[in-house]
Amino acid sequence: MTLSTQDSALRTPIIALTAGEPAGIGPDLCVLLAQQKPAGSRIVAIANRSLLAERAAQLGLPLELVDFSPAAAAPDRAGVLEVLHRDLSEPALAGKLNPANSRYVLDTLTAAAQGCLDGTFDAMVTAPVHKGIINDAGIPFTGHTEFLAELTGTAQVVMMLVGGGLRVALATTHLPLKEVSAAITRQSLEQVIRILHRDLRSRFALANPRILVAGLNPHAGESGHMGREEIDVIAPVLETLRAEGMDLAGPLPADTLFTRYQLQGSDCQLAMYHDQGLPVLKFASFGGGVNVTLGMPIIRTSVDHGTALTLAGTGKIESGSLTAAIQLALEMARNQKADRP
Ligand SMILES: NC(=O)c1ccc[n+]([C@@H]2O[C@H](COP(=O)([O-])OP(=O)(O)OC[C@H]3O[C@@H](n4cnc5c(N)ncnc54)[C@H](O)[C@@H]3O)[C@@H](O)[C@H]2O)c1
Ligand SMILES: N[C@H](C(=O)O)[C@H](O)COP(=O)(O)O
What's the gap in Å between 5 CA and the centre of ligand 1?
37
Whose CA is closest to atom 7 on ligand 1? 306
Fold of 12-154+296-340: Isopropylmalate Dehydrogenase (3.40.718)
- Ligand positioned closest to the Cα atom of 21: 1
Residue 318 Cβ contacting ligand 1 at under 6 Å:
yes
Assess whether the C-beta atom of 305 lies below 6 angstroms from ligand 2: no
- In angstroms, the CA 184 to CA 216 distance is 9
What is the DSSP-derived secondary structure letter of residue 199? H
Beta carbon of 302 within 6 Å of any ligand 2 atom: yes
Half-sphere exposure (CA, 13 Å, Cβ side) for 236? 10
User: Can you tell me the ipTM of this complex?
Assistant: 0.98
Rounded to whole angstroms, the Cα distance separating 88 from 49 reads: 10
Q: Do 75 and 44 meet the contact criterion of CB atoms below 8 Å apart?
A: no
Cβ atoms < 10 Å from Cβ of 101: 23
Options 3.40.50.300, 3.40.1280.10, 1.10.1740.10, 3.40.718.10; CATH of 157-290: 3.40.718.10
Cα 222 to middle of ligand 2, angstroms = 31
| Ligand 1 pocket test, candidate residues 282, 300, 305, 310, most atoms within 8 A of CB | 305
**How far is Cα 106 from Cα 128, in angstroms, rounded to an integer?**
12
pLDDT attached to residue 340 = 65
Ligand 1, atom 24, lies closest to the CA of: 308
Q: CA–CA separation, 182 vs 91, rounded Å?
A: 43
Cα 51 to Cα 63: distance, rounded to the nearest angstrom: 12
Report pLDDT digits (tens) over 116-126.
999 999 999 99
* Predicted pLDDT at 41: 87
pLDDT in tens, the chain (341 residues): 444 444 555 678 999 999 999 999 999 999 999 999 888 889 999 999 999 999 999 999 999 999 999 988 888 888 999 999 999 999 999 999 999 999 999 999 999 999 999 999 999 999 999 999 999 999 999 999 999 999 999 999 999 999 999 999 999 999 999 999 999 999 999 999 999 999 999 999 999 999 999 999 999 999 999 999 999 999 999 999 999 999 999 999 999 999 999 999 999 999 999 999 999 999 999 999 999 999 999 999 999 999 999 999 999 999 999 999 999 999 999 887 776 65
Which ligand 2 atom is at minimum distance from the Cα of 302?
A: 11
Residue of 145, 307, 328 with the most ligand 2 atoms within 8 Å of its CB, for mutation: 145
Sequence-distant (≥ 6) Cβ neighbours of residue 295 within 8 angstroms: 149, 154, 156, 157, 158, 195, 199
Q: Which residues fall within 8 angstroms of residue 89, CB to CB, at 6 or more apart?
A: 100, 101, 103, 104
Dist CA 293 CA 299 (whole Å): 7
Distance CA 216, CA 226 (A): 10
What are the residue ranges spanned by the domains of the chain?
12-154+296-340, 157-290
Half-sphere exposure at residue 51, Cβ-oriented, CA atoms within 13 angstroms: 34
Predicted TM-score (pTM) of this structure: 0.94
Ranges of H-type helices in the chain:
5-10, 26-35, 49-59, 102-117, 131-136, 144-151, 180-183, 186-202, 229, 235-242, 254-257, 260-263, 274-285, 320-339
Please determine whether the domains at 12-154+296-340 and 157-290 fall in the same fold group of CATH.
yes
Largest CA distance in the chain: 65
Q: Where are the beta strands (DSSP E) in the chain?
A: 14-18, 42-47, 64-67, 80-85, 123-126, 158-163, 166-170, 210-214, 247-252, 268-271, 290-294, 300-303
Ligand 2 mutation pick, 18, 125, 144, 172, max ligand atoms within 8 A of CB: 144
What is the position in ligand 2's atom list of the atom closest to the CA of 126? 11
Question: What pLDDT is stored for residue 7 in this prediction?
Answer: 55
Do 161 and 275 meet the contact criterion of CB atoms below 8 Å apart? no
Residue 311 burial (CB count, 10 A): 17
Distance CA 239, CA 297 (A): 28
Is residue 258 within 8 Å of residue 270, measured between CB atoms?
Answer: no
CB 324 within 8 A of CB 163: yes
Q: Measured from the CB, is residue 145 less than 6 Å from ligand 2?
A: yes
The CB of 132 under 6 Å from ligand 1? The reply is yes
